[in-house]
Amino acid sequence: MKIGIIGAGNVGTGIGKHLAAKGHQIFLSFSKTPEALEKARNIVGGGALSGSVEQAIAFGDVVILATPWGVTIETVRSVGDGLSGKVLWDTTNPLKPDMSGLQIGTDTSGGEKVAKAAPGALVVKAIAPFAEVLHSPSTIIAGTKPGVFVCGDHTNARKTIVQLVNDLDAEGVNAGPLSLARYTEPLGMLSVQLAYMNGFGARIGSALIRDMPV
């Protein structure tokens, strides 16, 4: 699959690296300097391309949004209706800049704000495992794949992202509508708190346990 990525930092390169290794074609965009973008392209490997946000969107069957929350909405708005009809995988978490809490929730969510900023895009919210997990030799933590809760209002787009999450060697959980991002974003915040403030370290994750696959 052709994947455009907006945000070539820890998460953008971490996801890009796994997906490139699984044979997906990657186009990276959105760094502050060309040097940073080139470095990101080398981290991803697999013949990844790079260029402007508009080029990444035009390239991708799926576009991944991996930007700091503070620049996310303006970045999405800057492309006008360019995202219309695209599957947009929102990996962002609306953290306060000092990571002390969430900027919004739980009567709405970052995912829903992104969907409002990109009318026509098929927005799917799925917060990836920690970048430290994506960039370590194995994503498996204590014998278990980290779970990623996948939320979106378009069934086929949601299924596509579940498959891409599985290609990270994580477990995509087909959770339901985009409004469930109101609860997955606080779960992400809990992980941030445990990892960085409470001393658990960043090789942690959440997983859904169940008797039967759904």
- Positions in the binding site for ligand NAP (CB under 6 A): 7-12, 30-33, 36, 66-69, 71, 91-93, 95, 127-128, 130-131
Instruction: Tell me the closest approach of the beta carbon of residue 62 to ligand NAP, in angstroms.
Output: 16
- Whether the bond into 13 is cis, omega within 30 of 0: no
- For ligand NAP, the closer CB: 33 or 138: 33
Across 81-110, b (16+ Cβ under 10 Å) vs e yields ebbeebbbbbbbbbbeeeeeebeebeeebb
The nearest distance, CB 53 to ligand NAP, in angstroms, is: 9
116 versus 155: smaller Cβ distance to ligand NAP: 116
Q: Which residue is nearest to ligand NAP (CB)?
A: 9
Say which amino acid occupies 63.
V
d(CA 197, CA 214): 34
Provide, rounded to whole angstroms, the least separation between the CB of residue 153 and ligand NAP: 21
Nearer to ligand NAP by Cβ, of 199 and 213: the residue is: 199
Report the run of H or E that residue 158 belongs to, with start and end: helix 155-166
Of 37, 103, 90, whose CA–CA distance to 63 is shortest? Answer: 90
Nearer to ligand NAP by C-beta: 34 or 213?
34
